[in-house]
Amino acid sequence: MEIDKFYHDIILENSKDKSNKKDIEDATDIERGHNPSCGDDISIIIKKDNKISDISYLGEGCAISTASANMMINLVKGKTIEEAKKIVDVFFEMIKNEKNIENIDVLGDAVVLHLTHNMPARIKCATLPWHALKILLEKC
């Protein structure tokens, strides 16, 4: 299988998975991410105490932004705030195309989003949910 096809399938699979697209009744915070150039409008909803006990998203977006949101949520759900911050940092290092990133493994399937680093229009789609999460975590 071609590597691009493999990446494409992971993105498609994650954008179709709507299990994290829901409201959280007793949520503690919400942050909206809006990307007018593509039309992505995704809000990240979080319930946190000493860890991220629940996290989800609502809104609409393209395959890349919704896949990115789904993968991100699967990665940080149940993690402590510090652990989640580290994952977010590694993700942005990857998107900036930094070399020899330590702990790149923490990104799991989300490494496919590295594909967007040379597509300026799509970087905004891939990073939108992560910017929203970063803001939510910085408030902790």
Nearer to Zn ion, 60 or 98 (CB): 60
Cβ proximity of 94 and 112 under 8 Å: no
Cβ proximity of 52 and 98 under 8 Å: no
Chain centre to alpha carbon of residue 11: 12
Nearer to Zn ion, 39 or 78 (CB): 39
Cβ proximity of 63 and 15 under 8 Å: yes
Q: Is residue 38 within the footprint of Zn ion (CB under 5 A)?
A: yes
H/E stretch holding 58: strand 52-60
Q: Could you say which residues in the range 39-78 bind Zn ion, by CB under 5 A?
A: 40, 62, 65
Taking the complex as a whole, the smallest distance from the CB of residue 24 to Zn ion amounts, in Å, to 24
Per DSSP, helices labelled H in 96-119 are none
Q: Is residue 30 within the footprint of Zn ion (CB under 5 A)?
A: no
Nearer to Zn ion, 15 or 65 (CB): 65
Q: Could you say which residues in the range 112-131 bind Zn ion, by CB under 5 A?
A: 125
Nearer to Zn ion, 62 or 101 (CB): 62
Cβ proximity of 58 and 23 under 8 Å: yes
Residues in contact with Zn ion by the rule CB under 5 A? 38, 40, 62, 65, 125
